[in-house]
Amino acid sequence: MIIMNNNYSAVFIDDGIGFKAVERYQKRRAVLADKINHLIVICGFEQPTDTRTTWSHTGSFINQDPLMLYLTGINQLKTALILDPYSKESPEILFLAKKNERNEFWDGCQIGVGSQDHIEVARTITGFTDIRDIKTLNQVIIEKLKEKPYKAGLYWHQSKVTGKIFHDHNYKFKKRIERLLRANNLTTVEITNIASLLWSQRLALDPIDLENVKTAMQKTQSAFINLLKKLKYFKTETEVAGFLDGQLAVNSYFRNSFPSITAGGSNATVLHYRKNNSTLPSNRLLLIDYGIRWYSTNTDISRTVPVNGSFNPLQKLLYTIVLNAQKLVESRVRAGISILELDKMCWDFINNEILKYFPDNDKSSTARYNRKPHTVSHLIGHQVHDCDPFGDYKNEQLKSGWIISNEPGIYGHFIINLNGKVYNEKTGIRIEDNLLVTEEGCINLSNDIPKEIKDIESLIK
Ligand SMILES: [Mn+2]
């Protein structure tokens, strides 16, 4: 924790292992550089992730692109990286902005260039020998490509299936490099996407990340248990969200892995409900979907609980269907199966179960979706939704060491007569665990976060 406690904490993420982190990041870069025989250029965020103009959102939390964090640990804006396997004297160059005392007066310590002393500090913290001003990035790229003008590896999000592109900062950077090459008569340079290569290196977490994700899960669990013990005192979704986010913030400087969803009653039929501002309906269910970021790892959990502490018979019926679907999926997860195979299994099971109890599908139940509301799993790693935003990976075989979510759900309007009493509810139920894929099966990382009906009821009472 040496680095985390010094003035440069938060600008260099050591994943809890202090100075050993430097070596770990160096190894990652070496592994990547070993697989390629051309230049790689990676550019991090230039501005906070949640804003285009910092003026309208002052004081944003800085969380650098997971790609830059994975390769360097550097968590500050205006950072770029060149890996050049051809260069013996300088195979990796880190680009930083100039250290600026006025900015530091406002925002605290940053690493940067400017004087030899500043560069020495940056070298000690990051482990890079060659550190240069980010203003020279274009010039260095051109010099390098004039020497070996055939290929440059960049990172951007593009579907291999549909060709669709995600227009984020990575893609803007690619366009910028293309313009730069045109302006310098280097149009024969082939630009190649290193995204798949990086994901295959990054997705299976190493032992340090695995320890961190287990710690993250303990923090996720304690937030949930503390929430259930206090639930009877809360009257609104806002209070639930505030308490939950407070629990996460107290337990991790890195806070939430995504904005919490706390949805009471029919609000839970909205998949990404984030208004979190309604009164809690006392006889209805409350769906919470939240997670914590701990160093470079993330959790992503959903639980659905009765606001008043007991599930009514309709709620019990629907909840049990979702829980059994979740157990079915978990029993089938192993290296080699694809998310789409799990997906089919999950929704076939749920749709069949619903038909058993609500045979007249048009009148007694109305789902807010056709056949399936969402995919049952996504990859979780250094981002809470890791890998490509288009989900091409859903067709691929899962690999040992990957973490996936397991999150079946039911969302709709259900009417049923049970033991002479009519129950009529618009409701959403989702139960989400995080599974570590192994060769033989999987390890449920969130197994200790209560989800059985009796366990939830007894915690609320
Ligand atoms: Mn999820």
Query: 167: CA distance to ligand 1 center in Å?
Result: 23
Query: 406: CA distance to ligand 1 center in Å?
Result: 8
Torsion of CA 322, 327, 329, 333, to 10 degrees: 160
DSSP structural state of residue 41: E
Distance CA 170, CA 156 (A): 5
The DSSP code sequence of 335-364 is TT-BHHHHHHHHHHHHHHHHHHH--STTTT
pLDDT number for residue 68: 95
The DSSP code sequence of 413-432 is EEEEEETTEEEEEEEEEE-B
The domain spans of the chain are 2-201, 203-460
pLDDT number for residue 5: 46
pTM given for the model: 0.93
Query: 407: CA distance to ligand 1 center in Å?
Result: 7
Query: 330: CA distance to ligand 1 center in Å?
Result: 15
Query: 309: CA distance to ligand 1 center in Å?
Result: 25
pLDDT number for residue 3: 42
Residue 353 has which token pair?
Answer: 């179960």
Pick the CATH number of 2-201 from 3.40.50.10490, 3.30.70.640, 3.40.350.10, 1.20.58.410: 3.40.350.10
Query: 378: CA distance to ligand 1 center in Å?
Result: 7
Sheet holding 301-306, edge to edge: 261-264, 285-290, 301-306
- Start-to-end C-alpha separation, the chain: 40
Query: 298: CA distance to ligand 1 center in Å?
Result: 11
Query: 333: CA distance to ligand 1 center in Å?
Result: 16
Strand 293-294 to strand 297-298: parallel, antiparallel, or no bridges (unpaired)?
Answer: antiparallel
Query: 394: CA distance to ligand 1 center in Å?
Result: 14
Distance CA 163, CA 148 (A): 29
pLDDT number for residue 362: 64
pLDDT number for residue 175: 96
Query: 231: CA distance to ligand 1 center in Å?
Result: 23
Query: 225: CA distance to ligand 1 center in Å?
Result: 19
Query: 368: CA distance to ligand 1 center in Å?
Result: 19
159, 118 contact by CB (below 8 A): no
Q: What angle is formed at CA 401 by the lines to CA 166 and CA 289, rounded to 5 degrees?
A: 60
Distance CA 94, CA 74 (A): 10
Query: 19: CA distance to ligand 1 center in Å?
Result: 33
365, 300 contact by CB (below 8 A): no
Q: Note every long-range contact of 328-334, with CB atoms under 8 Å and residues 24 or more positions apart, other chains counting.
A: 329/376, 329/377, 329/406, 329/408, 330/406, 330/433, 330/435, 330/442, 330/444, 331/441, 333/398, 333/404, 333/406, 333/435, 333/437, 333/441, 333/442, 334/398, 334/437, 334/438, 334/439, 334/440, 334/441, 334/442
pLDDT number for residue 63: 82
Distance CA 72, CA 52 (A): 24
338 has which bridge partners? 397
CATH homologous superfamily for the domain 203-460: Creatinase/methionine aminopeptidase superfamily (3.90.230.10)
Query: 96: CA distance to ligand 1 center in Å?
Result: 34
- Amino acid of residue 63: N
Segment-wise mean pLDDT, segments of 10 residues, the chain, 461 residues? 60 93 97 91 77 58 88 95 91 96 88 95 96 97 88 94 93 95 94 94 96 98 98 98 97 94 96 94 97 97 98 98 98 98 97 90 77 95 92 95 97 94 96 98 98 98 89
Query: 392: CA distance to ligand 1 center in Å?
Result: 17
